[in-house]
Amino acid sequence: MATSPEYFPNGGREAKAVFISGISITFYKSQKTIRPPEVQLDGLPRLPVLKHATDVKGIWIWHGGMEICSESKLTIKVSSDRSLSIMGTKTVTLTIPVNVILQESADGGGGGEVWRNSDASKFEISIEYSLPKAEPMLRDPSSGSSASASPATSESYLPSTIDDITRVCPRFRVLVIGKTGVGKSSLINNAFGVTAASVSKRKPGVHDINFEIESKDNAHFVVHDSQGFEPGEEQNFNIVTNFIEERRRKPELKDKLHAIWQVLVIPCSGGRVFEIGDENFINLHLGHVPVVVVFTKFDKLVTMKRMRLPSTRTAGLSSDEVLQLARDDALQAFEKLCIDPLKTVVAGKEMPAYIKASTSKGYEETLAELVDRTYTDVRKYVAEEASLVGAIAQRTSSETKIYASIAVGKRRYWEGLGHSANFPNRPLKNCLDVIHRDVIAVWNFQDPNKHLNSIKFQELMSQIVDDLAERNMLDPNKTLVGGITLVGTIAGIIGGLSGPAAPIVIPIVATVVFAKWVYDVYKQSAPVLRCLMGYIVDLTIIMQILFMLTRGDPRPVSNRMIKLATKTYAESPAKIHIHNQIQDYVERNDVFKRMHRDGVLAKIVDLIEKWKIEEGEGIGLRLRQPELDNLRLYEDEAW
């Protein structure tokens, strides 16, 4: 992307928003090893380096996306061991003013989206970045007025709340304890929504608890794997307890353990569920890091109970009813096989958190329960930042995503909507940008094409909210598609398509452009407040619909699927009721008086909680999966 000189008025002294996506350092001389890099912004604590890959010639630092101000300074520190051990360690420290990167690129020296600088005898550094679109002004076609399309000045720049959180804790760090064959890999892959092929592997035959298991498809988690506790073997127990203690002593939150999953398989055919080492570990009662005991392969217990159901109990029942009978029997057996022995182990002391789980299709709710319990305990015993990053990393519980979205919003931008604490005199587009980015980031979709953060999707969202710009109540009886639930609305949409490849059209959106209200500047007014409240609630519910459509599928989202989620919400009764309640709330309350300011945030949270999709409805959606599979939802189409 060629950088226009208009980005550098007053000799480059005006602050801009800059999106740093990648940093690489290449050494000209071979190094023995290159250590993980440190990156600082304006001298603050180290920024999260979410991914890095090294070899003897260079190091690749990948932050996964960081928006900063052009007046900031980046400091990059890389240490390496030289080829000859007697020569010791070499450290390279680079401090780079971001505005220098922009100025050199504008002068043609940096190649636009990649800035390079080098010391001919030592190394070359490359920084990948992007700037606001070359068409930086949004123009209202009806009035000729315009507003900035992207943050343009230090006054209008709005930092991301998610960036602040991940600066403290970039990755959720979990220790998984369990023998080979208990289902640890499947548990990790399904909980974090990644494929086995994307996960880093240890060297064959080498087991090191310090090895960090990562995935190129989800940069927000890291797993440490420990072998289970064998009978009469103490070495691994000591390795695990020493590792936990070492991590406890780490000064920074990002380096500490945030959770432990102790994974055991349900003994369907009887037998011992706990080894002596398992019992000893449970009785450690670690207070600084939450432990969840995970009993896996619950589906096998259900299958066994189903096979043993006598015909006298199943006569005249549907297959779903028979399955429910088997599940009920399996729950009773689970209590006897696992929970009663667990009570014996703790001997009257406090019971640890425990979950029955399965990674098989149809048991997604068990993984959601694991994630929900982990999120709650990490927030209680470790730190909110760690719990929020864990919520971002996981891709199985929409409930935890909702909780995290609200928690992130409460930290800054949702809090001040009623009294303009964060947005006074800023272009509404800039306000929407930061709200939009933070909500999208929490849901952590596979989105390499950045559809969800695209201008087109933001334009679409502004049109969904547009009816709130005027003071008028919508008729709740006039929905475009019948049905009062998500499943009912999607069923109507599927039935209305002329074929599996037919474009998904949202009738209320005549053209995908920004709605007129977006061209305004933030001010304390009822229309602005209604639109911002609606944008937050609408986007959150649409993200939950998209999450339900994609859960369990690691493929990247397409704009076709995003349009289906948006259309489902736009044509459901939920949207009309939500918008009417926003209209009514703002009309009936003097929301700009001090006594009512906190009420705006409370109303947003209330609407999200009231209209979020319940897990039971998500199960109903999965029953329509064959119909959804025929819609080619992972293919892109015109917006």
Which residues in the chain come in under a pLDDT of 50? 1-14, 50-51, 56, 108-112, 120, 133-137, 145-155, 479-484
What interhelical angle do 398-411 and 384-393 show, nearest 10?
Answer: 130
CA distances from residue 499 to 48, 422, 563 in whole angstroms, order as listed: 46, 47, 16
Provide the token pair at 67: 């928006």
Q: Judge if 5-137 and 165-393 fold alike in CATH terms.
A: no
pLDDT of residue 521: 86
Phi, psi (degrees; rounded to nearest 5) at 54:
-125, 155
Q: Which CATH class is domain 5-137?
A: mainly beta
At the top level of CATH, the class of 165-393 is alpha beta
Contact between residue 350 and residue 325 where contact means Cβ atoms under 8 Å apart: no
Question: What's residue 564's pLDDT?
Answer: 93
* pTM for the model: 0.77
- Give pLDDT, residue 133: 46
> For residues 334 and 295, is the Cβ–Cβ distance under 8 A?
yes
User: According to the model, what pLDDT value does residue 340 have?
Assistant: 96
Q: Are 389 and 172 in contact (CB under 8 A)?
A: yes
Length of the chain, in residues: 639
Domain ranges in the chain? 5-137, 165-393, 415-629
pLDDT for residue 99: 80
Please tell me the predicted confidence (pLDDT) of residue 281.
96
pLDDT, residue 12, reads 38
